[in-house]
Amino acid sequence: MALNAGQQDSAASGFDKAKAAEGQESTKKVLPPVRTLPPGPLPPYESLDAISPPAIPEDFHDIGRSKPLSDLHSDRTPSDLSDYSDHNTTKYTDSVVKGAALFLEFYSLSYTPHADNTARMASPQLIFVDGTFAELAQEMADYIQANSAKTEHAVQVGDEVRPLLEKEKNEDALEAIVKASGVLNTVPEKEFTGAINLLIHLVLQSNEPKRHLPAVCSNLLKPITSSPSHGFTLAASALSTIFNLLDKTNPVRYNVFLQIIRFIRQHGQYELLKPRLRNLEAWFADWETNAEDQRKLYIDVADAAAEAGDDEESYYYILKALSTFEREEAEGEEAQKYSLKALKMAISSPTRFDFQDLRALPSVQALSDSQPIYSQLLDIFTEQDLEDYNDFREEHEGWIEKEKLDHEKLQRKMRLLTFASLAASTPNREIPYANIAKALQIPSEDVEMWTIDVVRAKLVEGRLSQKQKVFLVHRTTYRVFGEKQWRELGTRIDQFKLVVDRLTSTVRRAQAEVEQARKAEEEQLAKKLAGAGISSGYPGDRRRQPRQRTDDDD
């Protein structure tokens, strides 16, 4: 039987039946229930299929190497290279045909990818199985029982499920198989993918796959002892297969994805997960995920990013989690916990200078009651300057050290922010070195160094005038943009408008003067030509002077 499973996006193959050699006695041997190929070190979630297709023939990689590259010279003519080209074109064609034949032989058919593959964990996949549910379940149980005999904890699941399947108690039989399926982590590496794919198929045939999938995913999070080197890839491929075989709108996908995130965290492979996170919003819409579950997943992703050292990504997903709290939940313990965490990350980050998105969150605003000192510190970093920070530190002596915040980093950040505020508030766009030194509380000889730092931080653009000892501001970033900044912007727009109006008037006046001078020159020229008896030749002059007839005309 060929099964078109889920969204037509996972892969496994049918059974191989062992045949005893004719005329020879052989004992019955339990074979792996699914035909597989030896897995390679494929990156998870990016492979074409849960089971890798046949490898490209080795001679394919030798194309273009039959002759050394040194034999190819730029001064050769096309005819000189014809033999070389024909030889390698033929070799290339043979290799492609050979690879295509192996591929089709493996899959037995071709498939067309879905248009919405960008929202999937992997490319379209197919599972091919032979037999009824009872036959497949019994073979799976026998396979697990045979392999468990090689371990310390042997199970008799094959014998246990046989009477259940005979009584058509498929759910009970499947539950027993899943309970014993941890044995699959010890099967030979070349048999693992086929066996786990069959187990996945059986689970998805259940009336309640959600009942069995947690145990399957939990086993995949455990080490695959038979393959220390490829264990991560094998387990990741299996988790990807489960995710892809579930219907696109099936909310069970949410739980599987949570397990994938935890698996990624466990192995420190966040970079493999990161490209898929762009699909989260669409997935939540498909699964109709509520705010609480969204928050839970965002927090897991934020933790995974933090463990991988990606603080910016971690901060982003904490903000996404905080945005799921309703206003009435803002003062709750969980909301305050993650709000405080986001605040600490924001002020400690060496690259984050904008805190407007953080302060706009109701849960962060509620910190003014639960964590007033932290709330005050956030206000300083949002819109105040270095002097206010130093006053805060004196007022709460020892508090920064007690909270394990890095004073040196905070002070440096406040100096950069103070420089940005100074540049934004300077009306003539010229800041003397002395003003910078005073605002940043630094020696005059360090002004240029701090100017370079603030430009690198992209808070200000401009250039130094060492001769005049001033910094010329070209562009600056407002730390906050409120009513005061809107008024200032309105004033500057009015000034620009006035300058533009003056320039327009000057240009129009100059154009009028040029036009008037041109007309005067034309009139003067016309008069001179008329006095000489010659037509001006201008289109507006329609008078013609009759030519006098002379004797030469005859």
Q: Residue 280 in contact with residue 297, Cβ under 8 Å?
A: yes
Say which residue, 77 or 475, is predicted with more confidence. 475
Question: What DSSP assignment string belongs to 208-266?
Answer: -HHHHHHHHHHHHTS--TT-TTTHHHHHHHHHHHHHHHS-TT-THHHHHHHHHHHHHHH
- For residue 549, the model assigns a pLDDT of 60
- For residue 32, the model assigns a pLDDT of 46
Dist. CA 433–CA 438, nearest whole Å: 9
Q: What letter does residue 432 receive in the DSSP assignment?
A: E
Element (H, E) at 463: strand 460-465
Dist. CA 244–CA 71, nearest whole Å: 49
Question: What DSSP assignment string belongs to 179-212?
Answer: HHGGGGGGS-HHHHHHHHHHHHHHHHTSS-HHHH
Dist. CA 155–CA 164, nearest whole Å: 16
Element (H, E) at 3: strand 2-3
Q: What is the pLDDT of residues 190-242, one digit of tens each?
A: 999 999 999 999 999 888 899 999 999 999 999 999 888 899 999 999 999 99
- For residue 532, the model assigns a pLDDT of 77
Place of tokens 């010659």: 534
- For residue 153, the model assigns a pLDDT of 76
Say which residue, 32 or 42, is predicted with more confidence. 32
Tell me the average pLDDT of the chain: 77
Q: Comparing 46-50, 430-434, 465-469, which segment has the lowest mean pLDDT?
A: 46-50
Q: Comparing 16-30, 284-298, 414-428, which segment has the lowest mean pLDDT?
A: 16-30
Question: What DSSP assignment string belongs to 332-400?
Answer: SHHHHHHHHHHHHHHHH-SS----HHHHTSHHHHTHHHH-HHHHHHHHHHHH--HHHHHHHHHHTTTHH
- For residue 54, the model assigns a pLDDT of 42
Q: Residue 476 in contact with residue 423, Cβ under 8 Å?
A: yes
Whole-model pTM: value is 0.66
Q: Comparing 281-285, 405-409, 439-443, 537-541, which segment has the lowest mean pLDDT?
A: 537-541
Element (H, E) at 133: helix 133-148
User: Cα–Cα distances in Å, from 10 out to 5, 23, 127, 201, 247?
Assistant: 7, 40, 6, 10, 11
- Whether residue 249 has pLDDT greater than 60: yes
Dist. CA 197–CA 273, nearest whole Å: 22
- Token reading at 309: 């050292």
Instruction: Report CA torsion sign: 239, 240, 243, 245.
Output: negative
Q: What is the pLDDT of residues 108-163, one digit of tens each?
A: 333 333 334 333 344 444 555 567 889 999 999 999 999 988 887 788 888 998 99
Q: What is the pLDDT of residues 364-382, one digit of tens each?
A: 999 999 999 999 999 999 9
- For residue 545, the model assigns a pLDDT of 52
- For residue 345, the model assigns a pLDDT of 95
Other Cβ atoms within 10 Å of 360 Cβ, number? 11
Chain Cα centroid distance, residue 279: 9
Element (H, E) at 281: helix 280-287
Task: Report the candidate in 114, 115, 121, 106 with the shortest Cα–Cα distance to residue 51.
Answer: 106
Alpha carbon dihedral 436, 437, 442, 445, in 10-degree steps, equals: 110
Q: What is the pLDDT of residues 68-114, one digit of tens each?
A: 333 333 343 333 434 433 444 455 445 545 554 544 444 333 333 33
3-class state of residue 21 by DSSP: coil
As a whole number, mean pLDDT of residues 451-478 equals: 90
> What is the percentage of the chain residues whose pLDDT exceeds 90?
49
- For residue 107, the model assigns a pLDDT of 39
- Whether residue 182 has pLDDT greater than 60: yes
- Whether residue 15 has pLDDT greater than 60: no
- For residue 129, the model assigns a pLDDT of 58
Q: How confident is the model at residue 477 (pLDDT cuts 50, 70, 90)?
A: confident
